Structure 1
Amino acid sequence: MPGLLVLMGSGETSPTMVEIHRAAARSLRAGARAVLLDTPYAFQENRADISARACRYFAHSVGLDVEVGAAITGADWVFAGPGSPTYALERWAESGVAGDLRARIRARTGVTVLASAAACTAGLATVPVYEIYKVGAEPHWREGVDLLEPLGLQAVLIPHFDNAEGGTHDTRYCYLGERRLSRMERELPPGTAVLGLDEHTALFIDLGDESVRVAGRGALTVRRMGSCTVLAAGTRTSLAELRRLAEGGTDLPIPPEPEPEAAPAEVTLEESIRSCEELFEAAADRPDLVAAAQAVLDLEAEMVKWAADTEEDSGGVEQARELMRLLIARLGELASTASRRSLGLPVLVEPLLELRAELRGKGCYDLADALREAMARGGIAVEDTPEGPRWTASS
């Protein structure tokens, strides 16, 4: 089977990367053996839940039945994703998995997919992001697995390259920011390049014909001290050209090729949250409870869609759930305002009851109860009867 190395900047089990995973799995034989390495997040208490969500994602969205934590020797497809790069490095060194991963690339067989924390380990050095960003350790490198060395690339790989979660402070470059990355670059061996992968973006390296492709929402940045080249999504080139850029080539960026058959890029959960909130606010200003309730339903649908996301950039599903609770409370306030203005309560209350019924039908009982309580605060009492919900308005 032809070999393929896929490196992802983030979003590895999100809707944004489904088509990328499908493209990587397309060359697999029927009944291919697929292994998910849970090592990067194995220290987390919710390890089993993360694995279960990832397995559901690959089964339902990609069509792969995945084994968790199994030996990777002879596996057709291997995946590792979010967690701690340094935790993964230490365990892979002890268990021999690091050597097995390098052997796959040297042999140029099998599909190997590394994302986020795991992608961080792919170069000759690794960013210890937990230790630097979360614990406050001095910026430093740790030795990497260096899957790029057999491909003739002397480089480090930095995912989350365009991260913007910091808002008022610089969290680009896997939360390092420019100041720390510039300092760390000076500590790399001479001639080492930085390969920066944006979030929801993938680098495909075909180990057979040595073709290279950038896919997804962002870009691959090839950075050397004092210069960089940006390869936008859609760029197709060769491993030889990527080596040349990593060695300091200074030609103009390679223009991306059009991909007319590609599906439109999926929006991120953060973008969906913002859109639903804006739609709700616009409906509340009119006021239009039907449209406001629909915005809440749209937000709930996005939560379901992103439920398998194991990394949850920018707060993820939990952030969406918090916003949904806030919007539900606002719906109660809108009902109260409508009651005082005598704007025709049946027209305003029925959409709220339909929203509550839909939430209950999907098993979101906590959110349905929150909506009932919000309506009660707005002067609308809801009673569940065998014939269905019945509501009354306080005078």
Structure 2
Amino acid sequence: MNSISTKSTPSLQARKGFTGIYVHYPFCYQKCDYCDFFSEGIGEGRSNVEDLLFDSYKKEFLLKKANSQELKTAKVDTVFMGGGTPSKASPENWFRLLKFFREESDFSSDPEISIEANPEDLSLDFIQSLKEAGFNRLNIGVQTRNPRDLKFLGRYYDENKYQNLKYILQNSPIERIGIDLMYGLPDSKKEDFLEDLDYFLNFQLNHISLYSLTLEKGTSYSRNVKEKKAKPPNEEMQREILELLPSLMQKRGYTWYEVSNYCKEELFSRHNLRYWTYESYLGLGPGAHGFLDGSRYGNPRNTGTYLKHPGKPSTEETSSPREELALSLFRLFLPIHIPSFLEAYIPRKTAKKMISSLDGFAAKGYCNWDGSRFQWESTALLILDDLITELAISE
């Protein structure tokens, strides 16, 4: 199996002068057992807390902007509302927040403005409200249509809502739609996942993320597996699916651009691309992370603490370009113009060692590499972590 794109596909190049905004909305119907993102189940009095939360987003933005040269000068070209479940918040609050961002920032002419949503929140009227609020991309966390698997994941299931999803996908006022699907659940069969995938591929969606179930430290699911109260992920089935997905998705017209992500017509998640290409972004909200002016920070994973001190991070550290670039950039299966990234971020001595590693990978058939343009072959997929680790430690 060969690389997905061809020599006519433009190479990804390092960019500067642009930034993004990530907003973390922490509330969900319930905390999913497998999820390690900071989130809280919805309780009474949420409307009052939500108003305080949106005010805090603005306060944090202004504090970060006052102390960041990048936020003062860079153009904002992506905004992403994640969580938690941001579709639980009112479109009016998102409208006001986006209006505030535009007033306080220099936006590019065609920004990508995304929001995550759960299927049970969606209706055509609701999506129209999101469009009017300023969103032009919708990402739906489907995970699976199988009631048994949803129950295992601790996900809310409403049969009528899932049946209505087909109509919504076909008639959505927002045209750029992506979905997330999950595979490798303990009692699930390969055929169950492929049936789900085929069902959604028929809607010609712009973007599909296909993730394997993993044991994340600190989650209820991880603890239950450790205590023999739950079955672990089906790793054998995960490997089978991981190997067959690139060719399957290519046949259905999708470009494989990151280990778990596929898109049509180069409609990548531009915001997620900035994470993988070492670009800056502002992270707002409890549990959010950001990367500004060469430093990374994390906000407290507690809504009450965040509301008391918005803009005060709980962690800060100087970025390590060599290690971080290797661990993120080389997850991409797009063609990459390596010199542009090395010249922008990597010392010459380290760059030479990374290039030597790429030469070795090419000799073994793991990638296409001509000294400038790099792209993984699918033969690298199952050992990708090992190859990336070698690049990350190229001292």
Identify the TM-score tier after normalising by the shorter chain: under 0.3
* Bigger Rg, which one: 1
TM-score normalized by structure 2?
Answer: 0.28
TM-score normalized by structure 1?
Answer: 0.28
Q: Which has the higher contact order (CA 8 A, sep 6+)?
A: 2
